[in-house]
Amino acid sequence: MTTRYETIRVRVEGPIARITLDRPERYNAIVAPMPEELRHAVEAADADERVHAIVLDGAGPGFCAGYDLEVYAATAGPNPGVQELPYDATVDLRMMGRNTECFMALWRARIPTIAQVHGAALAGGSDIALCCDLVVAAEDASFGYPPARVWGVPTTMMWVQRLGPEQAKRLLFTGDVIDGREAARIGLILEAVPADQLVERVDALAARMATVPRNQLAMHKTVINQAMVDQGLQTSQLLATLFDGMARHTAEGLAFKRRAEEVGWQRAVAERDAP
């Protein structure tokens, strides 16, 4: 029986499963139940012996703009991401830790996962994309973690895994956004291609992987992932997820939320991110 989802779509074509983030009217911004639905779809595809690769993309004008700030910032009062004071770190860690675990289903899957990125993969959207084994993007796509300026820490912490400490610091110390060409040049993603060639390139890459036996793919992925674990990935993620909650409850983080309630999240973000 086909599972019905609220925030994603899934289709399986031969040995390739394609999962599409599907809130195009909100730039596929993250709300409940998207993390849980994404995890369920990835785990279902991974369990399907016919599927040899998973492609993740976004409907509409972009991949994913991050968490939906209309819900988490602009709406007055507490919400799942902003508590009434005093702040309880364990409550936030449970919630954001669960989301991080859901995104990491892409990394844990035994078969390869490819993010196909057009438009923006920002903030939490970059968290999702960077959990995939490979990222292929349009040259004019955009990557970044603007909440690094105020209000967030990337919970999956794949920036340092992919870039090394210096480039990760450069992007997280500034919150700057880079295009697909720059992301490929510094090694954040596998490659950037002209936008009109993106689907063709990802399809060809996934099809090539699909000719490899699933057990062979799983062996390679397990070894490489273990190397990342040995380098401290899980510890970094725990610390980053804890700090992400703290960042939303500092004096500056709470001031940002008040400003978003007053003038709307778009203006509050523009003020925060201005040069």
Give pTM, 2 decimals: 0.96
* Residue 275: pLDDT band with limits 50, 70, 90: confident
pLDDT averaged over the chain?
97
The answer to whether the CB of 199 falls within 8 A of the CB of 207 is no
Task: Encode pLDDT of 22-37 as tens digits.
Answer: 999 999 999 999 999 9
pLDDT tens-place string over residues 140-157: 999 999 999 999 999 999
pLDDT for res 129: 98
| pLDDT of 217 | 98
Please determine, for residue 2, whether its predicted confidence score (pLDDT) is greater than 80.
Answer: no
pLDDT at 27: 98
Q: Which amino acid is at 64?
A: C
> How would CATH label the architecture of 8-273?
Alpha-Beta Complex (3.90)
β-pairing, 191-193 vs 134-138, is parallel
Per-residue model confidence as pLDDT tens digits over 42-75: 999 999 999 999 999 999 999 999 999 999 999 9
**% of residues, the chain, pLDDT over 70:** 99
Quick one: pLDDT at residue 39?
Answer: 98
Mean pLDDT of 151-180: 98
Quote the pLDDT of residue 168: 98
Give the burial class of 262: count Cβ atoms within 10 A of its Cβ; 0-12 exposed, 13-18 middle, 19 or more buried. Answer: exposed
Domain ranges of the chain: 8-273
Distance (Å, whole) CA 149 – CA 256: 11
Q: What do you get for the CA distance between the two ends of the chain, in Å?
A: 51
% of the chain surpassing 90 pLDDT:
99
Tell me, what's the pLDDT at 115? 99
Is a pLDDT exceeding 80 seen at residue 1? no
pLDDT at 212: 98
